[in-house]
Amino acid sequence: MSSSNTPVVSKGGRAPLTEKGKASSEMKMGVPSPFEIPLEVKNELKKKSLHARWVDMAQLKAKGGYHKNGYMPVQFDCLKGALKNNPFLDASMDGFLIRNGMVLAVNTEEAVSIRREYKRQRTNAQSGRQASEEFKQHIKSVKGVKVVEDDENEAE
């Protein structure tokens, strides 16, 4: 077996960080993932500048089609007519990409980037707030410790 065919494994038997995530989009154990997005759909998303995400159909239906991050299921032009021979889904689902009770929903790239920036700023603010609280607790814990002042103040 050549070295190019051997899997990359670190000392602990785990894949290094550079290799992680690659297997998630590839086939595992020779079986394709049901959540793999077909190439035609990826091209359509790219053309329309849309960001896709799998959304639970039952939760979406229970909330009246509302998703907290603004994702909406969309009918893809390239999938219309694909359900003609599928007895498990009704004709109203034609054009939607459905897998295991999940539907592919979309949001604009702009809305997604705004939300990501908001979350990043919120996380940074919370991290700063947490550090501030830890510092305040530290100050309270050392309150009984006498601080030695410099020599000029002691001379007076």
Q: What pLDDT digit, counting tens, does each position of 57-87 carry?
A: 999 999 988 888 889 998 888 877 766 666 6
Identify whether 71 is part of a domain: yes
Place 1 in a pLDDT band, splitting at 50, 70 and 90.
very low
- 47 pLDDT exceeds 80? yes
Q: Does residue 77 lie in a domain region?
A: yes
Spatial separation of the C-alpha atoms in residues 150 and 156, rounded to whole Å: 11
Mean pLDDT of 17-31: 57
Q: Mean pLDDT for the chain?
A: 74
CA separation for the pair 130, 122 (Å, rounded): 12
Q: Alpha helices, DSSP H only, in 26-155?
A: 39-47, 57-62, 109-141, 151-155
Q: Which range marks the domain in which residue 54 is found?
A: 37-113
Residue 94 lies in a domain: yes
Within a domain: residue 97? yes
* CB-CB neighbours of 4 under 10 Å: 5
Cβ atoms of 95 and 77 closer than 8 Å: yes
Number of domains in the chain: 1
